[in-house]
Structure 1
Amino acid sequence: MATFVLVPGAWLGAWAWEDTARALRERGHTALPLTLTGLAEHAGQGGPETDLDTHIADITGCVERNDLRDVTLVAHSYAAAPVTGAAGRLGDRLERVVYVDSAPFAAGMCMLDLMPPEAADQLRRQADASGGWRLPMPPYEVLGLSSSLDGLDEGRRDVLRAGATPQPFGTFTQPLTGPAEPGPDVDRVLVACHDFTGLLAAGVPMLAYLNQPPWRRFDLPTGHWPMLSAPAELAAILDAAVS
């Protein structure tokens, strides 16, 4: 059986993984959803100094504090950035990395680099309007421009909105530094939802490597938040990935 550390994307906390974690435990796995600094129940711990390094330390600290071994580290969306950083630091504690509708970050890259300049400028203005270091979750009509909302009915959207907390903006602006690549023996898995299957089908050159060994790809036909729209199906894929 595997040990999963489940890292949520922007604006989310461990709560977002509850249904998937429960389904993994029912299959006999250890599932540890993680809330990063400044978010959800840890919102009060965040501040202007909270950045990408803070979240990398959250992940490595969880693994080391609990003396976890043979870890499967799962990143959803934004979490690809801190998970990539943590994967390069965990050494032989790490068995596998799984990117859910996301991909590894390159050293020197930050979240804002993934966005058109006008979109990045809009986020900066939103953060400035909220005190400079916090980024509120955008409205669904804005999120839907870049991320598939498929599978999120009105009830699930209400759950997502109610649980969301402003993201420490330093986690979007700080580039990834330090080791950004796990060891060669670490298993690499991609779970591609609608957003990523579309990008891969379009033949985006910078993502072509994800269709080649050592990467293993699993497709999940749902939107960008599968832990809410298809939690049991996501758990089944994670179980298959470690079997």
Structure 2
Amino acid sequence: MTAYVLVSGGYTAGWIWRDVAAALRADGHQVFPATLTGLGDRRHLATPDTDLDTHIEDLVQLVDHVEEPEVVLVGHCYGIHPALGAASRRPERIARLVYLDAGLPGDGDSGMDLVTEDVREYLFERARTEGDGVRVPPPELSEQRVWGDLQDLGPAEREQLAGFAAPMPLGVLTQPLRMESALPPELPTTGIFCTLGGGPGIATIAGLVATGEPRFAALARPTVGYFELATGHWPMLSAPLDLAKVLVRAAADEGERLSPGAPPAV
């Protein structure tokens, strides 16, 4: 049995993992979908002081209240920021860290640092004009720069995403990530890429490793595995059963490995 802590991307909360959680629980696992302060049914708890440290503490408390000695911590999109912060505070409790269609923030990076300038300006303007200066209201689903690839979501999933989306506290996007300690290099890690619509996949990571730049060398560590899902940016809605199977495989350390300096075999 594996215990999973699931952290979703921007504007969403624990509700988005319903079908993934049901599939994992049916397989005998424990599942703890996170609802961070200011989101989901905790949206009323947002204040001007809600920031990334708030969300990190949310996850630290959640991990501390899981009875299993270790958890698989899954961060989707924005969710990888608080997931990394929590992992740096409780590294001994993390059996595996999973990047689900997420970027690679490092110590000192904010969410705003990892988006393009036009998206950054759009989000700040939205906070100023529609979010009282401290929140970013969820945009229309047609705003693909923010939501990512939605082309494989049906009407019901789109209605759910739009209906339950909550404003993002601006502070969680602007506060830099501060790692309490460096994650141990032996920490098992998995990257899951959602490739529908031309998103980067394993070959992209292999290309970065093949450049020989030292900052990419860690991507080819033997403790790092990779999977691809032929779906859009919200696999917990578009392909929940497939995602659940991949998460089980990730926990079993079945991901594809890269060789330093060389792309994977095709």
Q: Same fold (TM over 0.5)?
A: yes
- 1:242 and 2:251 matched: yes
Q: May I ask how many residue pairs the two structures share in their alignment? A: 243
Deviations 1:78-134 (A, max 9, x none): 001111111111121111101100134201101111122222111101011210111
Q: Indicate if the aligned counterparts of 1:3 and 1:70 stay in contact, CA closer than 8 A.
A: yes
Q: Indicate if the aligned counterparts of 1:136 and 1:166 stay in contact, CA closer than 8 A.
A: yes
CA distance in 2, matches of 1:15, 1:156: 12
1:196 to 200, 216, 233: 200
- Aligned match of 1:149: 150
Q: Indicate if the aligned counterparts of 1:20 and 1:227 stay in contact, CA closer than 8 A.
A: yes
Q: Indicate if the aligned counterparts of 2:105 and 2:114 stay in contact, CA closer than 8 A.
A: no
Larger RCO of the pair (alpha carbons < 8 Å, separation 6+):
1
CA distance in 1, matches of 2:206, 2:220: 12
- Aligned match of 1:174: 175
Partner-residue secondary structure (3-state), 1:50: coil
Matches within 5 A, 1:67-146: 67-129=67-129, 130-143=131-144
Deviations 1:146-175 (A, max 9, x none): 721132122211111011111111111000
Matches within 5 A, 1:31-50: 31-50=31-50
Task: Output the amino acid matched with 2:245.
Answer: A
Question: CA-atom RMSD, angstroms?
Answer: 2.1
CA distance in 1, matches of 2:193, 2:3: 21
CA distance in 1, matches of 2:186, 2:51: 29
Seen in structure 2, the aligned counterparts of structure 1 residues 207 and 230 have a Cα distance that, compared at 3 Å, is: farther
Partner-residue secondary structure (3-state), 1:140: coil
Q: Indicate if the aligned counterparts of 1:210 and 1:217 stay in contact, CA closer than 8 A.
A: no
Q: Indicate if the aligned counterparts of 1:103 and 1:190 stay in contact, CA closer than 8 A.
A: no
Q: Indicate if the aligned counterparts of 1:101 and 1:196 stay in contact, CA closer than 8 A.
A: no
Please, which runs of 5 or more residues in structure 2 have no aligned partner?
253-266
Partner-residue secondary structure (3-state), 1:122: helix
Deviates more, 1:194-203 or 1:104-113: 194-203
Q: Indicate if the aligned counterparts of 2:110 and 2:174 stay in contact, CA closer than 8 A.
A: yes
Deviation at 1:67, TM superposition (A): 4.2
- 1:224 and 2:228 matched: no
Seen in structure 2, the aligned counterparts of structure 1 residues 8 and 207 have a Cα distance that, compared at 3 Å, is: farther
TM-score (norm 2): 0.85
Deviation at 1:144, TM superposition (A): 5.2
Q: Indicate if the aligned counterparts of 2:76 and 2:100 stay in contact, CA closer than 8 A.
A: yes
Q: Indicate if the aligned counterparts of 2:4 and 2:73 stay in contact, CA closer than 8 A.
A: yes
Aligned sequence identity (%)? 37
Partner-residue secondary structure (3-state), 1:88: helix
CA distance in 1, matches of 2:141, 2:66: 37
Q: Which structure: larger Rg? A: 2
TM-score (norm 1): 0.92
